[in-house]
A and B are shown apart, each in its own frame.
Chain A
Amino acid sequence: MRFVPLAVAGLTALVLTACTAGKEAAPSLGAQPKPSGSASQALPAATLELWHGFATDAEAKAFEDSIAAFSKKFPQITVKTKKGVQDDQITAAIRGGKAPDVAASFTTDSVAQWCKSGAFQDLTPVIKQDGIDLSVLPEASRTYTEFEGKRCMMPLLADAYGMYYNRALMKGSEPPKTLSELTELTKKLTVRDANGDIKVAGFIPSAQYYENSPSHLGPMVGAKWYNDDGTSAIGSDPAWKQLLTWQKELVDWYGYDKLEKFRKGLGDEWGAEHPFFKGKVAMILDGEWRNAMIANDPKAKGLDYGTAPLPVADDKPDLYGSGFTAGTVIGVSKGAKNPQQAWELIKHLTTDTDSLVTLSNALRNVPTTKAAMESPNLAKDDNFKTFLDIFSHPKTSTLPANVNSVFNQDAFSTFMASWEKGQVKDLDAGLKEVDKRIDDKMKLSGG
Chain B
Amino acid sequence: MASRAHAAPPSRWRRSEGLRALVWLSPWLVGISIFFVYPLVATVYFSFHRYDLFTLEFIGLDNWRYLFKDDRVWTSIQNTLWLVVFMVPAQLIFALGVAQLITRLKSGLGLIRTIVYLPSLVPMVAGTVAFVFLMNPSTGPWNQLLALVGITGPDWFGNPAWSKPSLTLLAMWSCGNMIVIFMAALLDVPKHLYEAASIDGANAWRQFRSVTLPMISPVLLFSTITAVIYALQYFTQAMIASRVASGSTDSAGSVFTPGYPDQSLLTLPQWLFHAGFRDFSMGYACVMALLLFAAAMLFTTVLLRRFRYAEEVS
Q: Residues of A at under 8 Å CB distance from B? A: 3, 7, 11, 14-15, 18, 88, 91, 94-95, 106-110, 113, 116-119, 159, 161, 208, 210-211, 213, 215-216, 260-261, 264-270, 287, 324, 326-328, 398-399, 403-407, 409-410, 413-414, 417-418, 421, 437, 440-441, 444-446
Contacts and interface: CB of A to CB of B under 8 A. Distances in A.
Interface stretch (B201-209, B214-222, B226-234, B279-287): B279-287
A211 B250 CA distance: 10
A11 B252 CA distance: 45
Contacts of A213: 253-255
B278 A88 contact: yes
Interface in B258-314: 262-263, 274, 277-281, 284
A7 B29 contact: yes
B141 to A, nearest CB: 14
Interface in B1-36: 18-19, 22, 29-30, 33-34
A14 B35 CA distance: 12
Nearest to A262: B138
A118 B33 CA distance: 31
A327 B248 CA distance: 18
- The residue in A88, A324, A410 that gathers the most chain B C-beta atoms within 10 A of its C-beta is A410
Given A107-B250, A404-B279, A117 B55 contact: yes
Nearest to A2: B15
B137 A265 contact: yes
Contact of B139 (A159, A260, A265, A287): A265
Contact of B251 (A7, A14, A211, A403): A211
Contacts of A18: 34
- The residue in B55, B247, B277 that gathers the most chain A C-beta atoms within 10 A of its C-beta is B247
A119 B54 contact: yes
B281 A444 contact: yes
Nearest to B57: A446
Contacts of B30: 11, 14
B249 A270 contact: yes
Contacts of A399: 253
Contacts of B168: none
Given A117-B55, A444-B284, A107 B69 contact: no
B248 to A, nearest CB: 6
A261 B136 CA distance: 11
Contact of A444 (B18, B19, B63, B274): B63
Given A110-B280, A267-B247, A403-B52, 4 more contacts: A116-B52, A265-B137, A444-B66, A445-B280
A440 B71 CA distance: 12
B38 A403 contact: no
A287 to B, nearest CB: 7
